[in-house]
Chains A and B, each alone.
Chain A
Amino acid sequence: MPPEQRSAADPSEPVPLGQRFFDNWLLLMVLGIVIMLLVFTGWGLWEITSLEPSPLP
């Protein structure tokens, strides 16, 4: 297996944007964190804190 893993990628084939995007773990991490913070945590906190105080008693 090591010899196969060490063979160089074909330099003449351009790497598609999709592959480059998927290979970018840092970007994916940032997106994952941001999406979670916006859609779940941020929106959730907004939901809770924007609840009206009850008219009771």
Chain B
Amino acid sequence: METHTGMQSPKGVWWKRAHPTERMWVAIAFGWCMVLFAMMPLWHFKGGQNPAGVRYRVKPADYMRRTQEFIAAHKVGTDQGIPIVEPPAGSDIYLIGLSFAWHPILKLRQGTEYTLHLSSLDVNHGFSLYPMNINFQVVPGYDYGLRVTPTEAGDLRIVCNEFCGIGHHTMVGRVIVTDSAGREVAVADRAEITREVAP
């Protein structure tokens, strides 16, 4: 049985059946590929985390106006000049990414569903909710509406993880999640607000 290396032209007809072992490996690999593929539609319909959402094109000026109305309607305080907003359950809530801050601070309730809208007023930003490590791309001109349900109470952070300019590493936002009774939870290992200086 002749052999040759990959450097040599195969002689004549090389379109031949492979050895059963090789065919077995290909079959197993193919089966695994089918599992990999099936998982995505499966999770899409049965799983709790999907990037599907309600998606629109939007003019940044319009998005900003809507967000300002949202803030005005549900503002309950401020933190270093950024409004804290406590929206009703099930409502559309709005977050703006703008170099180099996230507006507003959302105060949400554990176990409650909201439609969180994400958009940027200038360049690409990265919405990275810490510590749950939920990440989405925030694109100017696009409204990404995700139905979210916070699973535990805490004092969370939004880290910008898409380079947006020289102040990128200062772009940190805050999300407060109260427990299902609406109480703020002071958890020792969550970040407390320690800065007096505004961004």
Interface residues of A (CB under 8 A from B): 1, 4-5, 7, 9-10, 13-16, 18-19, 22, 51-57
Interface hits, B43-86 → A, CB 8 Å: 55-59, 62-63, 65-66, 69
Determine whether B25 belongs to the interface, using a CB cutoff of 8 Å to chain A: no
- Given the known A-B contacts A1-B7, A4-B8, are A54 and B57 also in contact in the complex, defined by CB atoms under 8 Å? yes
A57's contact among B13, B55, B66, B142, by CB below 8 Å, is which?
Answer: B66
Cross-chain pairs A/B with CB under 8 angstroms, 24 sampled: A1-B7, A1-B8, A4-B4, A4-B8, A9-B11, A10-B13, A13-B12, A15-B15, A16-B13, A16-B15, A19-B13, A51-B55, A51-B57, A52-B56, A52-B57, A53-B56, A54-B56, A54-B63, A54-B143, A55-B56, A56-B56, A56-B62, A57-B62, A57-B63
B87 to chain A, nearest CB (A): 16
Which residue from chain B places its CB closest to the CB of A47 in the assembled complex?
A: B55
Given known A13-B13, A15-B13, A19-B14, contact A56–B8 (CB-CB < 8 A): no
Interface residues on B, range: 20 to 34
- Please tell me if the beta carbons of A18 and B15 are within 8 angstroms of each other in the complex: yes
Q: Using Cβ atoms and an 8 Å threshold, which residues of chain B touch A51?
A: 55-57, 142
